[in-house]
Structures are given as C-alpha cells and as structure tokens.
Structure 1
Amino acid sequence: MKRLLAAAVATATLLLFPQPAHAADTSYRTLSGAHHPDWMAGVPAATSLAALSIPGTHETMSIHGGDYTQTQENFGDSGGTLTAQLNAGIRAIDIRARINDGNTFTIHHGAVYQVANFDDVLNRLSAFLTAHPGETVLLRFKHECTGETGSCSDATGQRSFPDIFDSYVAARPGLFWTPSVTRSSAAAVPTLGAVRGKVVLAVLNGPRGGRFADYGLAQFSGWADGSSTYVQDRYNVPTFAQIADKRTAVNNFLATTNTGDPGRIHVNFTSGSGALAPPYWVAGGALFQQGVNPYLLGRLNAGSFTRTGVMMLDFPGGGLINKIISYN
C-alpha cells in the first residue's frame, strides 16, 4: 500500500510539473545515430523472414499531438520521418489510417492527423526500395477510426477499408509482394530473396484489431487488439510504476521468440502508454523507473539470445537499432 501511495504521489507531482523528455542516449531518441540503408543486402537470399532480427517502429508516423500521442522523433511531414527511419535501418512499420473523402487514406494516431497521407507512405517506400533493391519492408496496416471519443471518425459515403486498400495496391504494381495482398488467400512466411525490393503486408487490421479477410501472412490470423500467439503488444501501462511490467513482457517474449517455432515471425512491441504514463516515459524512463529502450539494449548486449524477432519501438536510439541488426 505504501509503495502504491508513493507511486501515486510521484506521478501526480510529475503531471503537475511536467518533466522534459528523458535525456537522449544510444537506446532512445537518437535515430540518426544509425545508418543502415542496405543491411539486408548482405543477408543470404534463402533466409526466412522469421529468422531475421528486425528493428521496427510502433505508430511509425506519429510525430504530432503532444506527449500522449507522439511516439517517434520528428524528421518531417509527408513521410519525411519514414524515410529517416528506413535509412537508419528500420524494416518493420506500423501505419494507421482514416478513410477520407475521395476514397483515400490519411494517416492518424487516434484523432490526430499526422500531416501525411497513404500516398506519402507509398511514395517513400517505393523510392527507398528502388534505391535499395536488396531490402524489404514489413507493413502492419490498421484502420484507425472507431468513431469513439479520442479516436477519429471516417468520412461518410466512402468504400470499405479493404476496397480502398486494394485500389492503392492496384495503382502501384510491383510495390507489394503479391501473395501478401491477396484478399482470398493468406501467405506463408517468405524468404528474403522472394521479397527483396517489395513491401510485405503482415496484417490488415480493423479499428479494434480484428483481421480483414485473408490479407497478410497466414501465421497472423489471430492478430487482434493486443497480444496474440506471435505478437506481444501489452500496450496498457497505466502509470510509470507499471513500466517494470512492460519491461518484463518484452523480456519474456524475447525468450518466447528464441524458444518458439523458428519458422514463425515473432513481433515484440516495446511501446506502451496510459493515463499516467505517456509513451516517452515508457520508452525512455521516468523518475526511478528504467525505460524499456535502455533495458532492452542492456538485455541484447548481454548476448543471451540468438534472434530478436521484429522489435516495434517508440523513439528508438541508434545504438539499439545497431544492436538489433547485429543479431543477423
């Protein structure tokens, strides 16, 4: 009881007197400290995506909206932030969209428009993969709007989310790995050689996490809101006192990744937030709690794992990206 009371008092103090962002270090808010535009090019073509250790970003485009909405360093609107991440070595992205007038998608985090459209995302991906054909990018794409308080509402009178998505795919032949964007048949996990120069759709999620049709990879049929067999996404971190629980969830799933089915991609979200724990506290730390990012870098430096799986990060640091890639 005393510990909970102390945590509550400390949290209230932090909220009454807002804290600056935790100091940047090699694990946190130093994306530009990594530069790996061609790291996959040196990986053998026969390597399964499941065998790779892949740095990724949660809410990849979320750079606006304040402390409770921003999850990434701001390198520019209209997809500038995405390009910076790709050049740093990020190869798994998490994109959230609203249905807009004209049967188009705009990029949102909840109610906040992130000053980018889906065409911006696809333009950046196409330009990067054209310049770096040895690479691939794994995409989690989610319909963001629930129409509830704190979320966005879709424009009325538009086509369905999957139908609009199909129109984007059709307008860019060759950008997506076709088996992953076929509505009627989910795909097996490919080798890197089969998808070089392509975007691989991992899953197409509804606004509450349910999966649309058979888009994406078959192994993610159970990917819903939060965690599932191959996904750790314990995103609810009510206060900074629960950052320790998030660290434990990340560490436990790293163990699962290393002892689980080697033919399956494991996706480990390091992100989290709550009413008394904005994303930057969870990532970088707050008061006496170590952030998930420095904790993760320490665990990876300990060398007790053989692969990391896909790590979906908030505010990644260059050293953390470097370390994940080094596992390949």
Structure 2
Amino acid sequence: MPKLITKLTVLLGIVHFSCGKIQRPDFDDTSEPEFYNPTWMASIPDHQPLSAVSIPGTHNTMAVYGGIYAECQTWTLADQLRAGIRYLDVRVRHVDGNLTIHHGVSYQKSHFGHVLEGVENFLQEHPSETVLMRLKEEFSETNNIYGAVVNYIENFARWDMLWHSRLVPTMGEARGKLIILQDFHGPDLGMRYGSLDIADDWKVYHRFFISTINGGVSMNTLRQQLLGTGNKYFSPTAVELVCLLPQG
C-alpha cells in the first residue's frame, strides 16, 4: 500500500507540473481544444432532418469567469465552435435595453452582441454548418427581452442569418443559419425552446468506473484501448491515473 501511494503521488505530480490541466471525458479544463472539427456537418446529407442529428453543446457557453461557483467553460466561443460545438446555452441580463452575459450574479465580461458576432463570423467561414442557441434571461426579471434581442440582431448580425420558422429544418435548409431556441416571451424569432421534445441523455465513463470494468487490464493495454481506438479525450497521464486510483 505505501508503494502504491508513492507511485500515485508521483503521477499526480506529473499531471500538475508537466500537464497543468486535465482532459478526460467527464472533465476538461484545458485552455483550448486539442482537436478541431469545424466542418463535421458537411458530411450530413441535405435531406436529413436536423432532429435526426445529435448536436454537441455546452452548458452556460459563455461562463468563463467567476471561480468554482460560476465558471462552466475554459474555451472561448470561437474555440468551442471550431472544436465542433453546435448548441450554445446563452444567458443574458436585461437592464435598460442592454443584454449582458451572466451566470447568476457573475458578469461574464461580454454582451449578446459579442455572441452574435462570433456566430456570424464562424458561419461565414464555415457555411456548411448551423448553430442552435438557447437564449434566456438571467439575473433580471423583466420578462421583456424581445425588443432588446431584436435591436442586438439589427446591430450585430443579419436577419437573413436566422432561421425564421418554428418548423424543424433539414440540414440543407439549416446550413449557414443561426437557429434561436427562444426561451423568452414575444413574437417568433426562431423555434420555441419550450415546445421541443429535448433528449439530452448522455453517459460518461467516469475514471473510477472505467477502472472497475477494466480491473484486470494492464496499464499499457488500457492505454492502447482508450488511445488506440480514436478516443482523443484521454492523455497517457490521465489513463495512468485511471488505472491507479481505485486500487487504494
């Protein structure tokens, strides 16, 4: 047992000093993606309904400030989109027509215009893609952000960039479009978030669970299984920690 603890301490030191950040399926605090996939939607047939496509997204997309109680992301919006994220979760505080980005009380040093500009720049560069964006009010209770949203679209984006229908588009219809999933009152700007039958079930093999189901597998074999089959979320150091932690 003392030998195992010593070895684990050394490995943790490697993570801290040589890697600095952690990247695994259930957690990633690296400053930028290791891999980019900005045009993955190009291979989807035009006739495919968007409802038949699994869309990777981020929770509180713009929450990069505020410490452990507010930070949800470490990648910029541009990096998230280039990495393949196509669903954005955007929360705005409404004060006198201004829409600032918030996660609860934590101001994220950005406003809705920055989000629109970032999405438009990405779609102009990659017209094969589409972006879905849930938009809702947070840390204010005006229940009246529609007019401000319209003003921001007019000043920071283009109306023809938006998908103007409650109907689910095909992939061909959605290319180059921002689809607003409207989680606020007012006339239609896109699809109503509350009307969608949302399935966000997901399964992540936590490091302890992986070690349990691979209990009899050697470290080198497990590394080969995880890294040699196209799993790009594990670094070799993380795999070593996967193997060692449960044994104590």
Short-chain TM bin? 0.5 to 0.7
Match of 2:79 among 84, 109, 112: 84
Q: Map 1:241-280 to 2 at 5 A.
A: 266=199, 268=200
Which residue of structure 1 aligns with residue 9 of structure 2?
A: none
Give the AA of the match of 1:176: M
Distance 1:54 1:34 in 2: 17
5 Å matches for 1:35-184? Answer: 35-73=36-74, 75=75, 81-101=76-96, 103-146=97-140, 160-171=144-155, 172-174=157-159, 176-180=161-165
Q: Which amino acid aligns with 1:91?
A: R
Q: CA deviation at 1:35?
A: 0.8
Q: CA RMSD in A?
A: 3.2
Relative distance call for 1:114 and 1:175 in structure 2 (3 A) is: farther
Find the residue that maps to 2:51 and give its secondary structure: helix
Distance 1:42 1:117, change over 3 A: same
Distance 1:162 1:137 in 2: 20
Query: Considering only CA atoms, is the larger Rg found in Structure 1 or Structure 2?
Result: 2
Contact 2:162/2:190 (8 A) holds in 1? no
For normalisation by structure 2, the TM-score amounts to 0.67
Q: Pick which of 44-53 and 24-33 moved more.
A: 24-33
Match of 1:198 among 158, 164, 177: 177
CA distance in 1, matches of 2:206, 2:25: 12
Distance 1:215 1:130 in 2: 20
Identity %: 33
Q: Any conservation in 2 of the 1:140–1:201 contact (CA below 8 Å)? A: yes
Greater shift, 135-144 or 40-49, is seen at 40-49
Structure 1 pair 135–66 and aligned structure 2 pair: CA distance change class (3 A)? same
Tell me the secondary structure at the aligned position of residue 115 of structure 2. helix
Q: How much has 1:24 moved relative to structure 2?
A: 2.8
Give 1:217 deviation, angstroms.
2.1
CA distance in 1, matches of 2:201, 2:99: 24
The 2-side partners of 1:66 and 1:212 are apart by: 34
Q: Hey, what's the Cα distance between the residues in 2 that align with 1:49 and 1:131?
A: 21
CA distance in 2, matches of 1:43, 1:319: 24
Structure ranking higher in helix proportion: 2
Cα 1:116–1:69 shift into 2, 3 Å: same
Distance in 1 (CA, whole Å) between partners of 2:145 and 2:47 is 34
Q: What is the CA deviation profile of residues 40-95 of structure 1, one whole-angstrom value per residue up to 9, with x for unaligned ones?
A: 1121111111111111001000011111111111x4xxxxx100100100000000
For 1:201, what is the secondary structure of its paired residue?
strand
Q: Distance in 2 between matches of 1:53 and 1:68?
A: 29
CA distance in 1, matches of 2:132, 2:89: 9
Match in the other structure for 1:311 = none
Relative CO higher for 1 or 2, CA cutoff 8 Å, sep ≥ 6?
Answer: 1
Q: 2:197 aligns with which of 214, 224, 230?
A: 230
Partner of 1:25: 24
- Secondary structure at the aligned position of 2:57 is classed as strand
Q: Aligned residues, how many?
A: 192
* TM-score normalised by structure 1 residue count: 0.52
